[in-house]
Amino acid sequence: DAGVTQSPTHLIKTRGQHVTLRCSPISGHKSVSWYQQVLGQGPQFIFQYYEKEERGRGNFPDRFSARQFPNYSSELNVNALLLGDSALYLCASSLVGDRVSYEQYFGPGTRLTVT
């Protein structure tokens, strides 16, 4: 069975540009979460989508947005890129997204570099 997939693997962008990151969850999983992991730190929660609705949002500016499609795949969009947006962006999927105990499966991440 395929795990969580993310594209692209690596990305280099210039300040002020826009970027779209994509995530395909494990088949049957209805919840997708996005995390930002800056080098040397733990992941920081950005968004959670469950059954195509936004269920949670972390402390990130409005430049960050996301959506979940009918097939449960998801996109993370970041506008007006800043140098500080350089990070590994992780996507995680799970069967459910409405209780404390569900296990998340992470994808390999997208490494974004902003120059």
Partner 1 sequence: AQKITQTQPGMFVQEKEAVTLDCTYDTSDPSYGLFWYKQPSSGEMIFLIYQGSYDQQNATEGRYSLNFQKARKSANLVISASQLGDSAMYFCAMREGDGNDMRFGAGTRLTVKP
Distance CA 68, CA 7 (A): 15
Does the protein bind partner 1 through residue 92 (CB under 8 A)? yes
Nearer to partner 1, 13 or 55 (CB): 55
Cβ–Cβ < 8 Å for 79, 61: no
98 binds partner 1 (CB under 8 A): yes
43 contributes a contact to partner 1 by CB under 8 A? yes
Among candidate residues 36, 64, 34, 61, the one with its CA nearest the CA of residue 49: 34
Sole window of 17-25, 54-62, 63-71, 73-81 interacting with partner 1 (rule: CB under 8 A): 54-62
Nearer to partner 1, 14 or 62 (CB): 62
Pick the binder of partner 1 from 71, 102, 113, 115 (CB under 8 A).
102
Binding partner 1 (rule: CB under 8 A), the pick from 33, 68, 74, 93 is: 33
CA distances to 21, 32, 101, 107, 111 from 76, rounded to whole Å, are 5, 11, 25, 14, 13
Asked if residue 14 binds partner 1 (CB under 8 A), the reply is no
Nearer to partner 1, 14 or 101 (CB): 101
DSSP per-residue codes, 37-65: E-TTS--EEEEEEETTEEEEE-S--TTEE
